[in-house]
Structure 1
């Protein structure tokens, strides 16, 4: 998409660095990716509770909530899914600029789309968290009944069933939710993050 030549980036007096100083910590995108049912939102919810207790300003952007509002005009075609991630990436970038740690929980199955968001921000501002859980275990959990509906043909282009998931090649951290509890995974992630915030 070509940029409008009449658009200019405004220069504001209050910078990202000043906002971070006010909050007393760095701002980051913590991007949770993994299959539906892997534990992304559950871990993000637990992590946010810990960060909040430490005085860190946070916000969770969750796939289901965003699709009910900002992205309610998008379907699940490959083109719409790409636009879904692009929009949430732009919103997440605004949170980073505001000095807040934003926890983003999206399946985001394609490496190119995750890279698109990574490239929107500075090198150290994007932390990819791969919530690794086997398809078999996710199907067993199936908290929303989506896998069964996908197998019945009620949901088209469902990641893991009729649409692929590209495993991250170099995520900052991998959480094995098939092998460790939510509490253990959250503690592993917090231990990794606390030196970066």
Structure 2
């Protein structure tokens, strides 16, 4: 797969990110939710998106399953394909950032290097890593999609947490205990952080 497109030039936009943020009355950022399958990333992402929408902010969720229906539909789940999956999502998230949107990315993203590569695409503080901390046994008990059962039965190879590694963040901006805490509490923790660093004004979910 070619990593460099030839004979292309970056087209500068006439409306800047700063102008979009001013119109939106809030800053844009990438909120990157990482954790095991079943840790509650997608549920948390949707709840956070709903909160931001209800409070007049422009936000959008990039979900791991959803992007594999189109943007990353040609990728499997080998380590190499996982790396490419996150690379593509990182580039899309950066475009949303420039559009003045709070983009919420919910991906297992098991490798530290891949998450660091996305972080490096944007300016400091534009990337907010949220570790959805949930014990493997709890994720497996939930098994919302039946994936752990399939992996245990040998129907899914290279399954994160079982036969493929998950490298937990060492110093994420936020750690939410999705194994024990309610989704509303986790949303409040994220909003509290975003308030402290100046992204949002209102800081309590309903």
CA-to-partner distance for each residue in 1:102-152, whole Å, 9 max, x for gaps?
A: 000000000000001000111111000000000010000110010010010
Question: Who is 1:84 aligned against?
Answer: 85
TM-score (norm 2): 0.92
Root-mean-square deviation (CA, aligned residues, Å) is 1.2
Give 5+ residue unaligned stretches, structure 1. Answer: none
Separation in 2, partners of 1:189, 1:72: 30
* Counterpart secondary structure, 2:125: helix
1:108-119 alignment runs, 5 A limit:
108-119=109-120
CA-to-partner distance for each residue in 1:69-98, whole Å, 9 max, x for gaps?
A: 111000111111100000000000000000
Moved over 4 A (4+): none
Residues 183, 76 of structure 1: CA spacing in aligned structure 2 closer, same or farther, 3 A cutoff?
Answer: same
Give 5+ residue unaligned stretches, structure 2. Answer: 200-206
Question: Who is 1:141 aligned against?
Answer: 142
Structure 1 residue 166 corresponds to structure 2 residue 167: yes
User: What count of residue pairs does the alignment treat as equivalent?
Assistant: 197
Question: Who is 2:204 aligned against?
Answer: none
Separation in 2, partners of 1:65, 1:12: 28
Separation in 1, partners of 2:83, 2:91: 13
CA-to-partner distance for each residue in 1:38-90, whole Å, 9 max, x for gaps?
A: 01111111111111111110000000000011110001111111000000000
TM-score (norm 1): 0.96
Question: Who is 1:48 aligned against?
Answer: 49
Residues 4, 37 of structure 1: CA spacing in aligned structure 2 closer, same or farther, 3 A cutoff?
Answer: closer
CA-to-partner distance for each residue in 1:127-182, whole Å, 9 max, x for gaps?
A: 00000000010000110010010010100111001000001011000001122111
1:25-36 alignment runs, 5 A limit:
25-36=26-37
